[in-house]
């Protein structure tokens, strides 16, 4: 019998993401037979009280996703238990260990990362780091390379690397895995996937929400550390990596690390030309008046709520192909996409007079709000005009053109895939220590360049795509962010 312990089991992440994910997995018959799910937190409550809270959270989420069933809940309820613990105290963890039995134990730390070090040390003493145990660490692990190493040293003092699962929930998103299928399950893209054919790559993660009451965490991190260090660099790696020889964890992660090692460091001299920091001011978002970041924070702050960066990958495949990344809060849309912008045709036989301008091909991998992969190509406008007219069309590559391919009944929570993989011991979609280190190293250099160049965030209005300087970052090179309008 296997067990899953959720440390921080009553917290926001557990209630909003982890427990609903487990419910859906159970609903679909995907949880290991006999799996026990044990919430563990400081709060002195009974298992029955905890289960009531879980019921409320899971039901609300499942009803809105159209997947609520009393039978599935009854199954999940039978697996649930709760223990009030001080996770930094081995004596408090021992009864938890006894409750888990002798099967495989996966512990998910959904608590403040400042406690990771002390918790893993206590887990080791309490026998929760033995060979049959695994640990899942939620981000952020550290706020720079040094603090990452400090925490991770404590983790590796208790667990082997193969037992450690560092989560980046973006890797659990269906379209991210589809990107791997697209690149390595087809022959037609790979020969084009280089600086001969690709002009540039864009990665956008836009959010309409503000920071709100998360500011005590966010003010320490900012958009660079909260989003770019992890989610966005992971997406960049999957686009840029060489074909791995296998889909096993080390083959894939070896290739990702090589990309991170090839990222050109950003120096203080060029920081202003290749990076943009922004912070939202008071204004209107989705028709509602919203406060500025500083009003939410309650005082002046130099933390960026928007970042745009031009990254260059110094290797044979990508030399001369800029990767533009941007992310921010209170932007005009919740949209996450990767755009592979191909080069224009070398010589046009069409774009004279009214025959239509030839747009370069573009592959858009959309993660949110919809999950889709589409390719825009030029096409002849139907008709008997003597002079050939062209128009761009978008072909969706995700679910097939004839509708026969199975479309999933609902969008899965990214944690569903990751929880299953962690419990099965498959770390392909998790971040290895050297990957996280390389990502921190590059991000630390960006942050140092900002402080050496004294680069402060530029103000931007809510409901926009960030400071104007972000558009300039591309227009200066004759390019533009994808607007999604064509
Ligand atoms: C988290 C960040 O990792 O990702 C949040 O800490 C952000 O600030 C969130 O809002 C975005 O995730 P998603 O899946 O909604 O794009």
Interval between CA 375 and ligand 1 midpoint (Å) = 27
Is 55 in the active site?
no
Ligand 1: residues within 6 Å at CB? 207, 226, 336, 368
Q: Are 329 and 206 in contact (CB under 8 A)?
A: no
d(CA 422, CA 408): 22
For a ligand 1 pocket test, name from 214, 226, 329, 413 the mutation site with the most ligand atoms within 8 angstroms of its C-beta. Answer: 226
Nearest atom (ligand 1) to Cα of 209: 10
Whether the Cβ atoms of residue 458 and residue 279 lie closer than 8 Å to each other: yes
Q: Residue 411's pLDDT is what?
A: 81
In the predicted model, is pLDDT for residue 399 greater than 80?
A: no
Separation CA 17–CA 3 (nearest Å): 18
Question: What SS3 string covers 96-118?
Answer: HHHHHCCCCEEEEECCCHHHHHH
Cβ pair 119, 151 in contact under 8 A: no
Q: What percent of the chain has pLDDT over 70?
A: 96
**Residue-level length of the chain:** 486
Distance 189 CA to ligand 1 centre (A): 30
Judge whether residue 77 has pLDDT over 70.
yes
Q: How many CA atoms lie within 13 A of 98 on its CB side?
A: 7
The pLDDT tens digits of the residues spanning 321-355 come to: 999 999 999 999 999 999 999 999 998 887 666 66
Q: Is the model's pLDDT at 100 over the cut of 80? A: yes
- Model confidence at 67, pLDDT cuts 50, 70, 90, reads confident
In the chain, % of residues over pLDDT 90: 85
- Band (pLDDT 50/70/90 cuts) for residue 182 is very high
Question: Which residues are CB-neighbours of 96 under 8 A, at least 6 positions away?
Answer: 5, 38, 40, 83, 85, 126, 128
C-alpha–C-alpha distance, residues 207 and 196, integer Å: 33
- Section 155-182 average pLDDT: 94
pLDDT in tens, 412-429: 899 999 999 999 999 999
**Residue found under tokens 């925490």:** 151
Q: What angle do CA 215, 216, 222 make, to 5 degrees?
A: 60
Residue with tokens 């003597």: 386
Q: Would the pLDDT of 24 be above 90?
A: yes
Beta carbons within 8 Å of 37's beta carbon, 6+ residues apart: 3, 4, 6, 19, 22, 76, 79, 80, 81
Q: Is the pLDDT of residue 382 over 70?
A: yes
Q: Report whether pLDDT(267) > 90.
A: yes
Q: Per residue in 443-469, pLDDT tens?
A: 999 999 999 999 999 999 999 999 999
Among residues 209, 463, 465, 206, which one has the least CA distance to residue 336? 206
Compute the distance from residue 222 Cα to the ligand 1 centre, in Å.
12
Asked whether the predicted pLDDT for residue 400 surpasses 70, the reply is no
Give the ligand 1 atom nearest the CA of 139.
3
Q: Are 108 and 138 in contact (CB under 8 A)?
A: yes
Q: Which of 113, 140, 169, 205 to mutate for ligand 1's pocket (most ligand atoms within 8 Å of CB)? A: 169
- Residue 401 pLDDT > 60: no
> What pLDDT does residue 72 have?
95
Q: What pLDDT score was predicted for residue 168?
A: 96
Query: Which stretch of 221-225, 400-404, 418-422 has the lowest confidence by average pLDDT?
Result: 400-404
Q: Rounded distance, CA 465 to CA 307, Å? A: 11
What ligand 1 atom has the least distance to the C-alpha of 211? Answer: 8
Say what the pLDDT of residue 484 is.
77
Edge-to-edge strand order for the sheet containing 390-396? 390-396, 372-380, 362-368, 335-342, 198-206, 323-328, 306-311, 275-280, 458-460
Q: What is the pLDDT of residue 358?
A: 86
Phi-psi region of 5 (alpha: psi -120 to 50; beta: other; left: phi over 0): beta
- Cα of 147 vs its chain's centroid, Å: 21
pLDDT of residue 486 exceeding 60, the answer is no
d(CA 131, CA 237): 31
**pLDDT single digits (tens) 348-374:** 887 666 666 789 999 999 998 988 899
Mean pLDDT over 154-183 rounds to 94
Asked if residue 393 has pLDDT above 90, the reply is yes
Average pLDDT, the chain: 94
Tokens read off for 395: 């072909």
The tokens of 182 are what? Answer: 């697209």
Binning pLDDT at 50, 70 and 90, where does residue 217 land?
A: very high
């Amino acid at each position: 019998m296997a067990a899953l312990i959720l440390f921080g089991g009553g917290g926001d992440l557990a209630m909003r993401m982890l427990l609903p994910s487990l419910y859906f997995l159970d609903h679909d018959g995907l949880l290991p037979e006999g799996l026990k799910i044990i919430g563990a937190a400081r709060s002195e409550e009974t298992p029955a009280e905890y289960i009531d809270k879980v019921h409320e959270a899971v039901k609300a989420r499942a009803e809105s996703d159209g997947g609520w069933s009393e039978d599935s809940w009854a199954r999940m309820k039978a697996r649930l238990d709760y223990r009030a613990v001080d996770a930094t105290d081995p004596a408090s963890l021992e009864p938890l260990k006894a409750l888990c039995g002798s099967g495989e134990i996966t512990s998910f730390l959904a608590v403040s990362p400042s406690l990771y070090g002390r918790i893993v040390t206590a887990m080791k003493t309490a026998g929760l780091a033995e060979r049959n145990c695994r640990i899942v660490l939620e981000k952020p692990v550290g706020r720079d390379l040094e603090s990452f190493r400090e925490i991770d040293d404590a983790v590796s003092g208790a667990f082997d690397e193969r037992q450690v699962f560092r989560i980046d929930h973006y890797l659990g998103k269906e379209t991210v895995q589809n990107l791997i299928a697209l690149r390595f399950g087809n022959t037609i893209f790979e020969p084009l996937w280089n600086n001969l054919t690709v002009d540039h790559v864009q990665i956008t993660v836009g959010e309409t929400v503000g920071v709100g009451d998360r500011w005590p965490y966010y003010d320490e991190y900012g958009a660079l550390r909260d989003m770019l260090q992890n989610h966005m660099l992971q997406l960049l790696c999957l686009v840029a990596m060489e074909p791995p020889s296998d889909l096993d964890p080390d083959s894939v992660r070896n290739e990702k690390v090589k990309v991170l090692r090839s990222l050109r460091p950003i120096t203080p001299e060029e920081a202003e030309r290749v990076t943009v920091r922004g912070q939202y001011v008071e204004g209107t978002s989705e028709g509602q008046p919203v406060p500025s970041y500083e009003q939410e924070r309650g005082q002046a702050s130099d933390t960026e709520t928007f970042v745009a960066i031009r990254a260059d990958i110094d290797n044979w495949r990508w030399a001369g192909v800029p990767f533009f990344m941007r992310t921010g809060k209170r932007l005009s849309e919740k949209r996450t996409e990767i755009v592979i912008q191909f080069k224009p045709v070398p010589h046009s036989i069409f774009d004279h007079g009214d025959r239509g301008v030839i747009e370069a091909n573009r592959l858009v991998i959309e993660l949110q709000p919809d999950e889709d992969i589409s390719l825009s190509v030029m096409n002849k406008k139907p008709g008997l005009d003597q002079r050939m007219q062209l128009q761009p069309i978008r072909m969706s590559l995700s679910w097939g053109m004839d509708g026969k391919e199975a479309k999933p009944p609902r969008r899965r929570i990214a944690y569903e895939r990751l929880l299953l993989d962690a419990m099965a011991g498959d770390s392909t979609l998790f971040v290895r220590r050297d990957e996280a280190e390389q990502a921190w190293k590059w991000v630390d250099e960006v942050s140092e360049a900002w402080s050496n160049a004294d680069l402060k965030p530029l103000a931007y209005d809510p409901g926009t795509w960030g400071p104007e300087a972000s558009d300039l970052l591309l227009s200066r090179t004759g390019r533009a962010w994808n607007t999604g309008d064509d």
